[in-house]
Structure 1
Amino acid sequence: MDLNTITEVVRRPPERPGTQWRQGDAWLAGGTWLYSTEQPDLRRLLDLTALGWEPLVPRDDGLEIGATCTIRELYAFPWPLSWTAGDLFRRSCEAFLSSFKVWNAATVGGNICLSLPAGPMITLTVALQARYELWAPDGSVRFVDALDFVTGDHRNVLAPGEILRRVVVPGHALRRRTAHRRFTLTRLGRSTVFLVGTQRPGGNDLLLTVSAGTVRPVRIAYGSLPDARTLRQSIDDLPADVWFADPNGTPDHRRHLTRHFAEEIRHELMAGDL
């Protein structure tokens, strides 16, 4: 779609692009959502791709994912064998179920900042206990837990002009065992629910991330694997207004699917069936 209100595109912003931010601006990375709908309030685009941020930087203590890392780059990354959670990255990329054009353009940061309930990069980073590095226009930097970033459907904690610079995934999370379940109404449809369970290697704990069926991601933590009744009760105890409603499912439908898939995840991790 042509954005006919745009009067300027800043192709080479400064290294700290937020210093140029003004009302009516938008950050441009992949642009797959930006160009998909009318943007009547926008006047200028600041192109982040010119900054050359490294897409993926493995470290001794984890992994850094640049906000402009494309879905294609994330999917193609050769995960070390010691990162047992590596397969979850591929499964989350596949949750886009979009054309190769979108995969080659859409970015990790864009999917996170769009903050839609079905955002698979949100599910991935919350499940792996990531933190987001945010840059403000005044030059200050803050870190936010992935779990706390999205506050509702298409809502997050970003202040005007603030930008997501990178995602930092801790090494201990990359070495956790994982199990996931995802449901869509059609083979190429948007996620109705997307659940991820993780567990320490050799441990008996459970971190269950519930997303897509909720307006914001939810994490339920257990020091040891719960029984079926306790798990179901934890899901039933979630606030009524956290469940999402759209043509892909009612809140009751999504709660039912969450109970069902959470129990499957519990069994899989209990049996060690990866």
Structure 2
Amino acid sequence: MAAGLEFARDGEVGRLTFARPEKKNAITYDMWSAIPEVVAQVEADPALKVLVLTGAGDDFSAGADISEFGSLRSTAEGAAAYDKAVVGAVSALEAMRKPSVAMIRGNCIGGGCEISVACDFRFTAPEARFGITPAKLGIVYDFLSTRQLMSLIGPAHARYFLLSGQLIDASRAREIGLVNDVFGALEDDVAAFVATLCSRSQASIRGMNRIIGKILAGQAESDAEIDAIRSAAIHGEDYAEGVAAFLERRPPRFTYR
């Protein structure tokens, strides 16, 4: 595990923490580079159903560690290598079939906000603030992250974020759809939502997450993979159990892993 990242398992939930609170959890090149491996481990672990991303201390993340830019982004080749690591992290999160949840406090800015947007869900404490600031650094945001942001909040709000670099508070983030909800008891409320995800059919969750991803990537029609996902679900144990539980008026006991 890269310095500045901590990963822990809590039952069916994996928790990835940006752990540089003295630096507002600024994300280093090594941290960006390590995220795909963490995602792969979660996807491959049959005991885990959900990945929660959060920050140690008072912040989610204030963004990429700009102190590295002088050495790592000082040439075109260096900038390309750095961007490859960022895109790799964002792509890995976007491609997850298991749900990912960003649990946000304090600063969620720049690369930190970029990571949160790549997650399936974003829940925030009331005091959090959000922004994406490439225009303050002379950087042009990458295509994948721009598409993700536009898909989430629309082109007008995406332009506001990217072109102005201004920050917004949690209430405004909720209004424009950047976050799913604002929670006063963040840990408890996120834990309750994650428990709900864990109680649902994982065959359904992962199949639907894959289809949503294909639609967001621009696919307009069904294909053989989607047909196979839906066919496997209808012939699977979770479907039989879900119908039986509904008819018997009891909670379902799903077994898909």
Same fold flag (TM > 0.5): no
Q: TM-score, normalised by structure 1?
A: 0.32
Of Structure 1 and Structure 2, which has the larger fraction of its residues in strand?
1
More helix by share: 2
